[in-house]
């Protein structure tokens, strides 16, 4: 079904899949589940589903119910499973930003936790949308209208001191357990230290461990932790969750008791660092010897930490660089002193989207040449230069300080540096440019050199929703690298100053959406969406037929299996596959990858040889169009069966509703019926006995909470139960109301046809 985006364009969307990888099927209630769906619903078995549906509807009510426009009503709701709903009162936006044509949530939701824009939809008196599931962790966001009019969420008290318009929220989970608040009474304390440097008054934040006493006899080692250039000391608390990390590590006995001094990114000179160290020594019980002193920081703060340890190795025994940018050579003359005085130099970098990636590659080579001992945490595959990565860096670094540890290798899952990352020069290759590991570089032409705000909109969000990733001006062009993206089929467009633009450098097209382009990332996860070897697949032909409903000649696309024999004695089963609203007969081929899916499943031996007809459902009377126009035309040209047991009908969104409409009006005409992201609707006048007797398979599919028809589909389950209709519920397919959900639905459905 067509959704209208806040940028004024109409879009049929697709969510990112969790994969059609060849996992073994799961047995439940004696029936098989596909590996990428939730619990299956067997025929006529109510067991727990009414309760489950009621629970889901309760969640849906929280996620989707309109909220009053009062300023104190939360704009943000986070579900237990990581789905985030935003509801922004239109009246508040207008009062504080004026009239706007679009509203987005800007936040670190993008690939590698990059900053991205999530478009909201105007529904009644509010702008709203649901995003997720998000990985456990801390997220920051602000509300922005028309690219430049940004607002703070007034209903969220969790803010960022250095970014007055930002708010934060936390998604709990096992991988983020050290970022959660420690039990009350078990954490350390944070206080402000005021001192003078270069004649000016400065301040730093100091964390002291739970057992610390200013009057005690014990002195502690100290870690100097720095923010990046232009950053604030408070960033380590508001965005880095440093206090929670220290509190939890301390409670677990995973770190040595120490004092941590957190400073902003302005103190880049040795004199300022010296003044800070003196102020700490004057006020806190810390050990003064370099062997008990450590330094670390992010970006430029990491660069300073390395310079402090490597250029003057008598100052600190431990140094950590989190996305530091130091790349200059280190002379061999200093190597002996560094190796003697510095116990640990540990380097951290994100993936190729981290500007420190290439700098770290050069630095490791320089240190190797100089024979300086160091450790490398490996390339973080899932984050770039952002606080999500630096939180992990801090968690890894702190337990290594002031103690002996057995492990000196990279963190689990981290990879090796593979040379410098250098996308092609501007204008030298079609875009997007797909690099190893699923990193994709987008680039505009020079036509938009005077633009003010350019983003690339694509189905690359968590769960497969759509984000707009800001592009950066690069000479007369705009460019950005995003990733890593999982193997799958993607589509995108450029949004230039709120106007949708097709990438002219990409020859792919989507007939029903002229501004979209597509690209494919190969891999086992996306095997069923890839082209089969030339000559091995089926054929797709155009079928022209006369529509008495539309009073015009129309076209359908027809897939015939490899080896199709028009003279075969046994007629082929036929599957009528329908598109959604705003789409047409071309979409299942151009966007749904129907040919690739059917080709692979046939060659894998999973598909009964069948003919698949993809007709045009944009008519006022689909039942008449199908039965009086599409079906007769297909039978006249192809060797297909007219036996109801050899006919199947399915569709997505509007097409799913059409399929269910045919089922209600003509029960038994099609023995196999399925609906993708479409609810059953009312049961009034339904001939239950005829449906049950004439239907071998009725199967329902829906996306997750980000699919806007999710509530109506879930409401269909008790309706069907109460009517006594036999059906299967395929479970929730992760993703929104979009093509990759429907691709997964087709992957699951097609092998089930004509086998009962």
**What digits encode the pLDDT tens for the residues 183-240?**
988 899 999 999 988 778 999 999 999 999 988 889 999 999 999 888 899 999 999 9
Which CA distances in Å does 70 have to 88, 239, 578? 10, 28, 43
Phi, psi dihedrals of residue 740, rounded to the nearest 5°:
-75, -25
Task: Give the angle subtended at the CA of 122 by the CAs of 120 and 125, to the nearest 5°.
Answer: 125
Strand 647-652, strand 672-676: pairing = parallel
> Contact 303/326 with Cβ under 8 angstroms?
yes
Report CA dihedral (542, 543, 546, 549) to the nearest 10 degrees.
Answer: -80
Strand 454-458, strand 137-145: pairing = unpaired
pLDDT in tens, 162-180: 999 999 999 999 999 999 9
Nearest to 721 by CA among 156, 168, 5, 53: 53
The pLDDT assigned to 71 comes to 54
Task: Give the angle subtended at the CA of 534 by the CAs of 633 and 577, to the nearest 5°.
Answer: 30
Nearest to 484 by CA among 538, 559, 532, 415: 415
CA distance 308 to 656: 65
Report CA dihedral (653, 656, 658, 663) to the nearest 10 degrees.
Answer: -160
Task: Give the angle subtended at the CA of 504 by the CAs of 500 and 508, to the nearest 5°.
Answer: 95
Total Cβ atoms within 10 A of residue 742? 33
Distance of CA 147 to the CA centre of its chain: 22
CA distance 618 to 616: 6
Total Cβ atoms within 10 A of residue 527? 17
Cis peptide before 357 (omega within 30 of 0): no
Take residue 635 and report the two structure tokens written for it. Answer: 């039978």
Task: Give the angle subtended at the CA of 493 by the CAs of 491 and 494, to the nearest 5°.
Answer: 150
Which CA distances in Å does 301 have to 163, 314, 618, 641? 19, 19, 59, 72
Instruction: Tell me which residues of the chain have a pLDDT lower than 50.
Output: 1-36, 38-70, 267
The pLDDT assigned to 269 comes to 63
Take residue 343 and report the two structure tokens written for it. Answer: 């116990």
> Contact 266/301 with Cβ under 8 angstroms?
no
Please give the domain boundaries of the chain with CATH numbers for all domains: 1-19+88-174+422-530 (2.60.40.10), 181-400 (3.40.50.1820), 544-752 (3.40.50.1820)
> Contact 551/560 with Cβ under 8 angstroms?
no
H/E element holding 275?
helix 270-283
The pLDDT assigned to 462 comes to 77
H/E element holding 360?
helix 356-370
Take residue 43 and report the two structure tokens written for it. Answer: 């025929």
Which CA distances in Å does 38 have to 33, 578, 678, 728, 731? 8, 24, 17, 12, 4
The pLDDT assigned to 456 comes to 98
The pLDDT assigned to 266 comes to 56
HSE, side-chain direction, 13 A CA sphere, residue 5: 24
pLDDT in tens, 458-470: 999 977 899 999 9
DSSP state letter for 66: -
3-state secondary structure labels for all residues of 301-349:
HHHHHHHHHHHCCCCCCEEEEECCCCCCCCCHHHHHHHHHHCCEEEEEE
In the numeric block, the tokens 């890894």 are attached to 396
């Amino acid at each position: 079904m067509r959704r209208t985006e806040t940028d004024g364009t109409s879009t049929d969307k697709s969510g990112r899949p969790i994969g059609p990888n060849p996992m073994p099927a799961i047995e439940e209630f004696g029936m098989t589940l596909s590996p990428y769906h939730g619990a299956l619903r067997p025929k006529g078995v109510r067991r727990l589903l009414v309760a489950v549906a009621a629970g889901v509807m309760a969640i849906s009510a929280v996620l989707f119910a309109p909220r009053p426009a009062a300023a104190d009503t939360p704009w943000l709701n986070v579900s237990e499973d990581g789905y985030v709903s935003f509801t922004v009162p239109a009246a508040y936006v207008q009062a504080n930003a004026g009239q706007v044509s679009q509203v987005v949530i800007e936040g670190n939701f993008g690939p590698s936790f990059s900053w991205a824009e999530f478009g909201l939809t105007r529904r009644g008196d509010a702008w709203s949308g649901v995003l997720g599931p998000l990985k456990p962790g801390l997220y920051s966001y602000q509300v922005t209208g028309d690219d430049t009019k940004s607002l703070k969420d007034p209903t969220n008290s969790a803010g960022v001191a250095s970014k007055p318009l930002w708010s934060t929220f936390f998604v709990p989970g096992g991988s983020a357990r050290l970022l959660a608040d420690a039990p009350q009474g078990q954490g350390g304390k944070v206080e402000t230290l005021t001192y003078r440097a270069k004649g000016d008054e400065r301040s730093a934040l100091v964390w002291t461990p739970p057992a610390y006493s200013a009057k005690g006899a014990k002195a502690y080692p100290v870690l100097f932790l720095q923010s990046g250039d232009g950053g604030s000391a408070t960033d380590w608390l508001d965005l880095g969750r440093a206090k929670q990390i220290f509190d939890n590590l301390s409670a677990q006995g995973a770190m040595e008791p120490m004092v941590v001094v957190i400073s902003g990114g302005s103190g880049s000179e040795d004199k300022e660092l010296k003044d800070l160290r003196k102020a700490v020594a004057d006020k806190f019980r810390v050990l003064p010897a370099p062997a008990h002193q450590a330094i670390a920081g992010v970006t430029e703060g990491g660069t300073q930490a390395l310079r402090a340890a490597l250029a003057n190795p008598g100052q600190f025994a431990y140094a950590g660089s989190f996305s530091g940018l130091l790349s200059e050579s280190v002379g061999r003359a200093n190597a002996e002193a560094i190796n003697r005085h510095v116990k640990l130099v540990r380097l951290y970098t994100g993936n190729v989207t981290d500007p420190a990636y290439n700098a770290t590659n050069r630095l490791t080579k320089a240190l190797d040449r100089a024979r300086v001992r160091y450790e490398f945490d490996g390339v973080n595959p899932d984050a770039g230069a952002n606080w999500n990565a630096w939180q992990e860096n801090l968690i890894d670094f702190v337990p290594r300080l002031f103690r002996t540890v057995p492990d000196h290798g990279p963190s689990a899952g981290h990879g090796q540096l593979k040379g410098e990352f250098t996308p092609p020069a501007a204008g030298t290759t079609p875009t997007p440019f797909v690099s190893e590991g699923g990193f994709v570089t987008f680039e505009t032409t020079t036509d938009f050199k005077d633009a003010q705000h350019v983003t690339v909109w694509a189905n690359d969000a968590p769960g497969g929703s759509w984000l707009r990733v800001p592009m950066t001006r690069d000479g007369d062009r705009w460019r950005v690298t995003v990733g890593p993206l999982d193997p799958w089929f993607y589509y995108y467009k450029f949004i230039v100053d709120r106007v949708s633009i097709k990438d002219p450098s990409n020859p792919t097209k989507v007939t029903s959406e002229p501004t979209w382009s597509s690209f494919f990332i190969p891999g086992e996860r996306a095997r069923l969406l890839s082209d089969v070897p030339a000559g091995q697949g089926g054929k797709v032909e155009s079928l022209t037929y006369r529509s008495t409903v539309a009073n015009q000649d129309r076209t359908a696309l027809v897939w015939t299996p490899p080896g199709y024999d028009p003279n075969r004695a046994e007629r082929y089963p036929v599957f009528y596959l329908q598109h959604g609203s705003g789409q047409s007969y071309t979409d299942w081929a151009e966007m749904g990858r129907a040919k690739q899916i059917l080709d692979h499943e046939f060659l894998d031996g999973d598909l009964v040889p069948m003919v698949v007809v993809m007709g045009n459902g944009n008519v006022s009377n689909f039942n008449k169009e199908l039965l009086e126009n599409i079906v007769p035309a297909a039978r006249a040209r192809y060797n297909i069966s007219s036996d109801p047991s050899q006919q199947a009908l399915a569709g997505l969104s509007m097409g799913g509703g059409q399929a269910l409409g045919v089922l209600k009006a003509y029960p038994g005409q099609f023995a196999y019926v399925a609906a993708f992201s479409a609810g059953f609707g009312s049961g009034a006048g339904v001939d239950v006995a005829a449906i049950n007797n004439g239907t071998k398979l009725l199967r329902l599919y829906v996306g997750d909470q980000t699919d806007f028809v999710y509530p109506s589909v879930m409401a269909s389950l008790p309706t069907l139960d109460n009517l006594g209709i036999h059906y299967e519920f395929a479970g929730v397919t992760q993703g929104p109301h979009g093509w990759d959900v429907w691709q997964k639905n087709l992957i699951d459905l097609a092998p089930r046809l004509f086998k009962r």
